[in-house]
């Protein structure tokens, strides 16, 4: 029987990795990811998780050790945040380009300077193009469920790609929530043993990581792009299978009260739950507003997204990261790009808010929605609006 | 000794797992060192390589010079990748997913990948005690990118980023003592080697591979291109590096120093340096300064070795 | 390696561009880099094999008579074997000659 327990989300991730029977965890501590790796170290130390825990000396080495471990066919997990994700940056490309399946949870955090250990999406957006499959989660249950899904997706013979599961630092990583844990046997049924097809082993020597002269580099990159795009089919299948097995359902773009909505708010991560309460309130006042959230960030869910927003008049995108000197919040610029060629599309308004752990309260979301509607009608001289900055 | 050397080649396996057709420069001492090291490693090995000369010459897609499993990912992380390989293999064997067998995990890198950009990953992997062998193929500069200085470049050498000039003697700092840094991690086995002493090199790589825990072998690899010397002098140059005391061959086993080749009298450093274009600009004064340093360093190494013998 | 790098399509590449044919670089000819080649006076050869040990290419093999000889397909003409041969069997000559 699945059991429901109250648990800190970071600890719950450790429990999920245990249920997933990871073979190797290589990690470097960084706030607000620490409770995840502390719990994993404890599980290994107590013999509850039969894995090697490699306490590496940096995030660069954490991801590098993961490459080695995944390349021999071991089920591999790590976690990081903020600066750690940036220190891994170049290694992230290698993991996806070499098609090494591994799973990483990222407790999303702002970037220095000034130093901030608190949450936003600056770290995620900086690694947007690293070729990883990337999922956003909004609560503890979603993180736990998607850790299972992430392993299955990553290791699928048709995918073989690394997967990042994003959760907001502190706002999600450090809260205690009721979480349903499936039985070990159910997880085992859902998540078969990792069988990497071309592992490093003396029985069948392979060479991994050749260099490519110009005559063949483009072919290698295109193969990677085709593969990442095609992974969406397996991602959808996996969520479907998960829904069948465990009764909780996930989709690339999730909609809340969007039927007949004229105004849509778009968010990612744990702030979506606050946004929902505001949608409820405004609906109660008779206003036709709804909420759209990205669950799948890469590969970008073009069709599902266009479908989700096509009937609205206004789409207000709330980014939690700046694209310095750029065309607005990074998510918003992708949203605009995805809609550009559509005949029927909403007006898109870009807000940047919630940087470095700053809360967006329900009242804040209400202000964003009202101001967004006004901008959609009257226009604005700005590429985007910054919300909540003292002037 | 001479006669012993002449007939021992017959005892060395003819089998190469680093095969011809590689794109190393003519007379490359590093390719020779890798080839000999691979003879010592045999088939049951997995190699994690750093970016560098040996990576570039051996792996242009879709080809490989390697007959053993080999992975290259980045410049500074060979030791970290090896950590993951070692831990992964250990767990897969423990869980019965692959058969129990001895597989030597090797990380290899050049001097830049070891003593500069990769030193953190290497230090971490040695400190954590992974069962792996690290091979540093030291050609004393970033040769792959065009002879730029590294921390392993010797004092006075002219490179493209430490050029000799009116205001410059070439490299102004002394070569970083990487084997001593490795030994300071208290790992069970550290050694220096040079392919000019092939049987010694093979023996040390074999020993490093068999050592439980981290082992580090630092291999001087003569680079005719970067050192500006004739290609046929590669082996002779390595011998001179040893005979002048510039690159002594020694082991540090469980902290105990042992000098493998000692000479009643060292040859003058000029015997070695005069043959190389990178030192051609050096004044007599500087050569004397280098000689003094080499003599002193050699004496202190010898003292360590003789203390440990007692 | 049925196709050369210029003929391979993206579909031909293994996952992650992994190379599954060990040592297939041996098909690559490095012999044409050579500006000088080895010549032998085998009457002096004591078949010690030192030349083979010291060859950076690993391209020296024993011929039918047991003498060691460089494979011209790979030999880059460095001259190490000639320099190290204890009985001076090998002489390097310019390729033009």
* pLDDT confidence of residue B6: 61
Give C8's contacts in chain A (Cβ within 8 Å).
216, 219
Minimal-distance CA residue of chain B relative to C30: B21
Whole-Å CA distances, A306 to A314, A341, A343, A383, B80: 13, 11, 11, 22, 43
Minimal-distance CA residue of chain B relative to C5: B62
Q: Per DSSP, which regions of A169-228 are E strands?
A: 176-181, 207-208
Q: Do C56 and B27 touch (CB under 8 A)?
A: yes
Helix, strand, or coil (residue C70): strand
Predicted-complex ipTM score: 0.97
Helix, strand, or coil (residue B168): strand
User: Nearest CA to CA, how far is A126 from chain C (Å)?
Assistant: 23
**Is the distance from CB of B294 to CB of B245 less than 8 angstroms?**
yes
**Nearest residue to B48 via CA among B126, B108, B137:** B108
> For residues B95 and B98, what is the distance between their CA atoms, to the nearest angstrom?
8
Tokens 């460089």 -> residue: C70
Peptide bond into B160 cis (omega under 30): no
**Nearest residue to A151 via CA among A300, A1, A12, A16:** A16
C27/B contact by beta carbon, under 8 A: yes
Classify residue A214 as exposed, middle or buried by CB count within 10 Å of its CB (0-12, 13-18, 19+): exposed
Directed axis angle between helix A214-246 and helix A89-97, to 10°? 80
Give A94's contacts in chain B (Cβ within 8 Å).
73-74
- Tell me how far apart the terminal alpha carbons of chain A are, to the nearest angstrom: 55
Whole-Å CA distances, C53 to B3, C50, C70: 15, 5, 12
**Nearest residue to A57 via CA among C43, B97, B10, B118:** B118
Whole-Å CA distances, B304 to A111, B175, B187, B249, B252: 49, 20, 17, 14, 10
A207/C contact by beta carbon, under 8 A: yes
Give A216's contacts in chain C (Cβ within 8 Å).
5-6, 8
Q: Do C13 and A219 touch (CB under 8 A)?
A: yes
Q: Do C17 and A206 touch (CB under 8 A)?
A: no
Helix (H) or strand (E) holding B91: helix B78-94
- Split at pLDDT 50, 70, 90, the class of B266 is very high
* B3 has a pLDDT exceeding 70: no
Mean pLDDT of B193-222: 98
**pTM to 2 decimal places:** 0.97
> For residues A386 and B118, what is the distance between their CA atoms, to the nearest angstrom?
42
**Nearest residue to B132 via CA among B58, B198, B81:** B81
Task: Nearest by CB to B235, from C22, C46, C80: name it.
Answer: C80
C16/B contact by beta carbon, under 8 A: no
Residues of chain A under the 50 pLDDT cut: none
User: Nearest CA to CA, how far is C31 from chain A (Å)?
Assistant: 21
- What digits encode the pLDDT tens for the residues A52-66? 999 999 999 999 999
Task: Nearest by CB to B44, from A60, A73, A202: name it.
Answer: A202
Q: Do C74 and B64 touch (CB under 8 A)?
A: no
Give C12's contacts in chain A (Cβ within 8 Å).
219
* pLDDT confidence of residue A371: 98
User: Nearest CA to CA, how far is A131 from chain C (Å)?
Assistant: 12
Q: Per DSSP, which regions of chain A are E strands?
A: 3-8, 24-26, 52-54, 76-80, 103-108, 133-136, 163-168, 176-181, 207-208, 253-256, 263-267, 289-294, 296-298, 314-319, 347-352, 385-386
Among A72, A77, A215, the strongest candidate for a mutation testing the B interface, having the largest count of B CBs within 10 A, is A72
Rounded average pLDDT per 10-residue block, chain C, 97 residues: 86 97 96 97 96 97 96 98 97 88
Task: Nearest by CB to C17, from B18, B61, B67: name it.
Answer: B61
Task: Nearest by CB to A219, from C8, C16, C20: name it.
Answer: C8
Task: Nearest by CB to A197, from C8, C15, C19: name it.
Answer: C15
Q: Chain A neighbours among B 6-45 (CB < 8 Å)?
A: 43-45
Give B80's contacts in chain A (Cβ within 8 Å).
56, 60-62, 64-65, 68
* pLDDT confidence of residue B11: 84
- What digits encode the pLDDT tens for the residues B138-168? 999 999 999 999 999 999 999 999 999 999 9
Which chains are adjacent to chain C, needing at least 3 Cβ pairs under 8 Å? A, B
Burial C37-59 (b: 16+ CB within 10 A, else e): bbebeeeebeebbbbbbbbbbbb
**Is the distance from CB of B197 to CB of B261 less than 8 angstroms?**
yes
Helix (H) or strand (E) holding C37: strand C36-40
User: Nearest CA to CA, how far is C35 from chain B (Å)?
Assistant: 10
C7/A contact by beta carbon, under 8 A: no
Task: Nearest by CB to A198, from C6, C12, C15: name it.
Answer: C15
Among B53, B54, B83, the strongest candidate for a mutation testing the A interface, having the largest count of A CBs within 10 A, is B83
- Split at pLDDT 50, 70, 90, the class of B1 is very low
Tokens 């409820």 -> residue: A280
Give C20's contacts in chain A (Cβ within 8 Å).
198, 204, 206
DSSP calls for A31-58: TTTHHHHHHHHHHHHTTSS-SEEE--SS
Which chains are adjacent to chain B, needing at least 3 Cβ pairs under 8 Å? A, C
**Dihedral angle sign, alpha carbons of residues B123, B124, B126, B131:** negative
* pLDDT confidence of residue A2: 84
**Is the distance from CB of A70 to CB of A38 less than 8 angstroms?**
no
Q: Do A198 and C18 touch (CB under 8 A)?
A: yes
Q: What is the mean pLDDT of chain B?
A: 96
Tokens 């990792």 -> residue: A194
**Nearest residue to A312 via CA among A282, A339, A351:** A339
Helix, strand, or coil (residue C23): coil
Q: Chain A neighbours among B 283-302 (CB < 8 Å)?
A: none
DSSP calls for A317-360: EEESS--TTSSS-HHHHHHHHHHTT-SS--EEEEEE--GGG---
Tokens 């909505």 -> residue: A261
Tokens 């399946």 -> residue: A101
**Is the distance from CB of A178 to CB of A6 less than 8 angstroms?**
yes
Mean pLDDT of B43-70: 97
Minimal-distance CA residue of chain C relative to B233: C80
Query: What residues pair up with A104 in beta bridges, in sequence order?
Result: A78, A164
Task: Nearest by CB to C23, from B31, B64, B232: name it.
Answer: B64
Give C26's contacts in chain A (Cβ within 8 Å).
none
Tokens 């051609």 -> residue: B280
Q: Do B6 and C21 touch (CB under 8 A)?
A: no
Give B17's contacts in chain C (Cβ within 8 Å).
23
Peptide bond into B42 cis (omega under 30): no
C30/B contact by beta carbon, under 8 A: yes
Give A98's contacts in chain C (Cβ within 8 Å).
16-18
* pLDDT confidence of residue B4: 54
- Distance from the Cα of residue B294 to its chain's centroid: 19
Give B27's contacts in chain C (Cβ within 8 Å).
56, 76, 78-80
Tokens 């098609």 -> residue: A99
- What digits encode the pLDDT tens for the residues B66-101? 999 999 999 999 999 999 999 999 999 999 999 999
The token pair that represents B236 in the structure block: 């002779």
């Amino acid at each position: 029987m699945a059991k429901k327990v109250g648990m800190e989300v970071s600890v719950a991730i450790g429990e999920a990795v245990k249920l997933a029977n990871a073979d190797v965890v290589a990690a470097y501590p960084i706030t607000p990811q620490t409770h995840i790796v502390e719990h994993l170290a404890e599980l290994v130390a107590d013999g509850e998780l039969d894995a090697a825990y490699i306490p590496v000396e940096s995030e660069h080495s954490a991801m590098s050790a993961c490459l080695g471990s995944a390349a021999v066919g071991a089920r591999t997990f790590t976690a990081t945040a903020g600066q750690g994700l940036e220190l891994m940056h170049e290694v992230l490309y290698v993991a996806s380009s070499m098609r090494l399946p591994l799973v990483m949870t990222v407790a999303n955090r702002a970037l220095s300077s000034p130093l901030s250990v608190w949450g936003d999406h600056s770290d995620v957006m900086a690694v947007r193009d690293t070729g990883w499959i990337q999922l956003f989660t909004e609560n503890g249950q979603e993180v736990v469920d998607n850790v299972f899904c992430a392993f299955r997706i990553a290791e699928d013979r048709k995918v073989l790609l690394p997967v990042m599961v994003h959760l907001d630092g502190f706002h999600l990583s450090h809260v205690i929530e009721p979480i349903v844990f499936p039985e070990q046997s159910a997880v085992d049924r859902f998540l078969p043993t990792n069988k990497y097809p071309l592992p490093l082993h003396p029985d069948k020597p392979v060479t991994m990581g050749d260099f490519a002269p110009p005559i063949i580099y483009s072919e290698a990159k295109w193969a990677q792009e085709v593969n990442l795009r095609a992974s969406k089919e397996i991602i959808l299948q996996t969520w479907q299978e998960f829904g069948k097995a465990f009764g909780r359902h996930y989709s690339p773009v999730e909609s809340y009260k969007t039927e007949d909505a004229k105004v849509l708010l778009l968010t990612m991560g744990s702030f979506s739950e606050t946004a929902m309460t505001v949608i409820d309130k405004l609906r109660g006042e008779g206003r036709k507003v709804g909420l759209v959230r990205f669950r799948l960030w890469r590969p970008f869910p073009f069709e599902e997204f266009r479908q989700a927003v096509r009937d609205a008049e206004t789409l207000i995108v709330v980014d939690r990261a700046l694209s310095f000197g750029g065309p607005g919040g990074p998510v918003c610029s992708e949203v605009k790009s995805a809609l550009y060629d559509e005949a029927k599309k909403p007006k898109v308004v870009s807000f940047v808010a919630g940087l470095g752990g700053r809360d967006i309260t329900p009242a804040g979301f209400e202000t964003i929605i009202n101001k967004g509607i006004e901008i959609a009608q009257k226009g604005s001289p700005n590429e985007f609006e910054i919300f909540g900055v003292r002037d | 000794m001479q006669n012993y050397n002449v007939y021992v080649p017959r005892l060395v396996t003819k089998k190469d797992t680093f095969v011809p057709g590689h794109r190393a420069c003519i007379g490359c001492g590093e390719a020779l060192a890798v080839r000999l090291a691979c003879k010592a490693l045999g088939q049951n090995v997995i190699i994690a390589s750093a970016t560098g000369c040996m990576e570039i010459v051996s792996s242009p897609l879709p080809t490989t010079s390697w007959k053993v499993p080999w992975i290259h990912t980045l410049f500074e992380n060979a030791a970290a990748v090896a950590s993951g390989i070692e831990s992964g293999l250990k767990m897969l064997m423990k869980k019965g997913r692959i058969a129990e067998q001895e597989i030597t995990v090797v990380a290899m890198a050049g001097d830049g990948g070891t003593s500069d950009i990769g030193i953190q990953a290497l230090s971490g992997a040695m400190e954590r005690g992974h069962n792996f062998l690290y091979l540093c193929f030291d050609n004393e500069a970033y040769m792959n990118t065009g002879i730029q200085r590294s921390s392993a470049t010797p004092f006075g050498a002219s490179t493209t980023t430490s050029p000799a000039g009116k205001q410059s003697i070439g490299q102004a700092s002394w070569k970083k003592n990487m084997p001593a840094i490795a030994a300071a991690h208290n790992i069970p086995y550290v050694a220096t080697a040079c392919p000019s002493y092939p049987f010694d090199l093979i023996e040390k790589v074999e020993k490093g591979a068999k050592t439980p825990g981290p082992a580090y072998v630092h291999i001087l690899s003569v680079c005719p291109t970067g050192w500006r010397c004739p290609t046929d002098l590669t082996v002779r140059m390595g011998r001179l590096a040893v005979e002048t005391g510039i690159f002594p061959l020694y082991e540090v086993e469980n902290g105990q120093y042992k000098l493998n080749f000692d000479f009643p009298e060292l040859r003058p450093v000029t015997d070695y340096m005069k043959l190389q274009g990178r030192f051609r600009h050096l004044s007599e004064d500087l050569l004397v300064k280098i000689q003094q340093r080499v003599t002193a360093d050699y004496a202190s190494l010898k003292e360590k070795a003789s203390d440990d013998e007692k | 390696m049925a196709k050369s790098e210029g003929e391979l399509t993206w579909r031909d590449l293994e996952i992650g561009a992994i190379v599954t044919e060990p040592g297939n670089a041996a098909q690559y000819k490095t012999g044409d880099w050579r500006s000088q080649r080895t010549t032998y006076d085998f009457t002096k050869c004591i078949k010690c094999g030192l030349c083979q040990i010291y060859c950076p290419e690993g391209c020296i093999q024993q011929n039918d008579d047991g003498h060691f000889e460089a494979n011209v397909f790979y030999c880059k003409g460095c001259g190490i074997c000639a320099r190290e041969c204890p009985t001076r069997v090998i002489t390097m000559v310019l390729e033009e000659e």
